[in-house]
Homo-oligomer: A and B are copies of this chain.
């Protein structure tokens, strides 16, 4: 399939109108380059991708709604754009896929002016460039209420990792450190300015795209998920999808540095294990096969991999404390449908 003269990096010409002037300017502000499989980028009725036959295509979509998923008082507009894209790309990381590109739909109320739109687009573009993903298209509409993002991600993988392959005996490992984003949200909710590291974890999350591929290529990963709803809630997804039970050990949970001197160890654990939006990876790995991947992640990417539990026969999630005693789950996962955040 040949692409348009000038190649896909030049969006198709659109008719003159205030709507299309804005869209043209946004595409320019995003400024992402094009991955080789993009035969046609934004500007026509659909983008065209030419994916090799050795890979499958992965698609996922992620809503970010103002007053539910974010508050404009907490973040700069470029961070709001960055975060909406990072959260969506994280679903590709969860399957150890490489990103191809994203479609960004954006509904905005009248007070969001062109300069603000450019800031949002700047954050979107920053996240895309960081992870080598293209802008494939999107939609722009007025909103009579909140700012709404919907980001669809398209990726490719030879052998994607699902949630459903965990086996009794597997070890559960988590990337990075947990609770930073929840610590920031807790501070804002209490009227405080978060610690800079917590703020950074919330506003500039890193979808673990490279880490997931290093992990899946260097360990026997049976199942994986990204931590969007929190360790307890997302471990429950692996348990439900795989038809197994998950045992998590409170003393093993790697806490974000900002939680190390938190008010109480229980409160710190509640944020690290119950708070969502860390976008770290949780993987069920065949026993004894994780160490080479852990060493490679630490050496090449500076990212820790920590054993937090194990998979057994049964169902659901069980927590144990430092003496092996059963404890209550540190907190419920954040539920974007029923929560009043």
Q: Would you call B60 and A57 a contact (CB within 8 A)?
A: no
- Give the chain B neighbours of A141 by CB distance below 8 A: 63, 65, 68-69, 336-337
- Give the chain B neighbours of A4 by CB distance below 8 A: 162, 164
Report if A50 contacts B (CB, 8 A). yes
Mask of A119-130 contacts with B, CB within 8 angstroms, 1/0: 000000000000
Size of interface on A: residues with Cβ below 8 Å to B: 82
Supposing A45-B95, A46-B97 touch, asked if A143 and B150 sit within 8 A by C-beta, the answer is: no
Q: Would you call A59 and B236 a contact (CB within 8 A)?
A: no
Q: Would you call A241 and B146 a contact (CB within 8 A)?
A: no
- Give the chain B neighbours of A13 by CB distance below 8 A: 164, 240-241, 243
Mask of A143-155 contacts with B, CB within 8 angstroms, 1/0: 1111010101111
Q: How many copies does the complex hold?
A: 2
Report if A200 contacts B (CB, 8 A). no
Q: Would you call B43 and A107 a contact (CB within 8 A)?
A: no
Alpha-carbon gap, A138 to B62, bound state (A): 7
Supposing A56-B39, A59-B152, A142-B65 touch, asked if A44 and B107 sit within 8 A by C-beta, the answer is: no
Mask of A33-64 contacts with B, CB within 8 angstroms, 1/0: 00000011001111111111100111111110
- Give the chain B neighbours of A153 by CB distance below 8 A: 46
**Chain A residues numbered 135-179 whose CB sits less than 8 Å from any CB in chain B:** 136-146, 148, 150, 152-155, 159-160, 162-164
Q: Would you call A233 and B17 a contact (CB within 8 A)?
A: yes
Q: Return the chain B residue nearest A49 by Cβ.
A: B57
Alpha-carbon gap, A45 to B92, bound state (A): 7
11 further interface pairs, Cβ-Cβ under 8 Å (given A16-B240, A49-B59, A59-B154): A4-B164, A13-B164, A13-B240, A15-B239, A45-B94, A46-B97, A51-B51, A52-B53, A63-B140, A68-B141, A142-B337
25 contacts between A and B (CB under 8 A): A4-B162, A12-B162, A13-B241, A15-B239, A17-B335, A43-B241, A44-B162, A44-B241, A46-B58, A48-B57, A48-B58, A50-B56, A59-B59, A60-B137, A61-B139, A62-B139, A63-B107, A63-B140, A65-B144, A68-B107, A68-B144, A140-B337, A141-B337, A142-B337, A148-B150
